[in-house]
Amino acid sequence: MSVKWGFLGAGWIANRATAPAVHAAHNAKLFGVASRDAARSIKLEPQNVYGSYQELLDDPQIEVVYISLANHQHLEWVSRSLEAGKHVLCEKPLGLNALEVQEMIN
């Protein structure tokens, strides 16, 4: 059984590190990617490409969301991912300050 990952963002770190790691894992699958640029999403070789971040979160098959968006977007998309019932792995920094991180936890 493979854990189905969804990526929000298809930038450098996702391309160079995270996507290759998920593809190499025997118990993980890159199920979907949503980014501002569909061509960059396709380059990560997911099973699905989504037209929006929310569309990815709305897919009940996605179990874990990896967030590699710009730092100022982390609060919104970590919160939305958690509200959608997903597990979350977020690039550093988790939030811009301690108040943002506390808001994510609450």
Catalytic residue among 4, 43, 86, 92: 92
CA distance 91 to 89: 7
The torsion angles phi and psi of 20, rounded to 5 degrees, stand at: -60, -35
Catalytic: 43? no
Q: Mark out the alpha helices in 1-106 (DSSP H runs).
A: 12-13, 19-24, 38-43, 53-58, 74-83, 98-105
Pair 15, 44: CB distance under 8 Å? yes
Taking Cα atoms as reference points, which of 9, 59, 12 lies closest to residue 34? 9
Question: Which residues are identified as catalytic?
Answer: 92
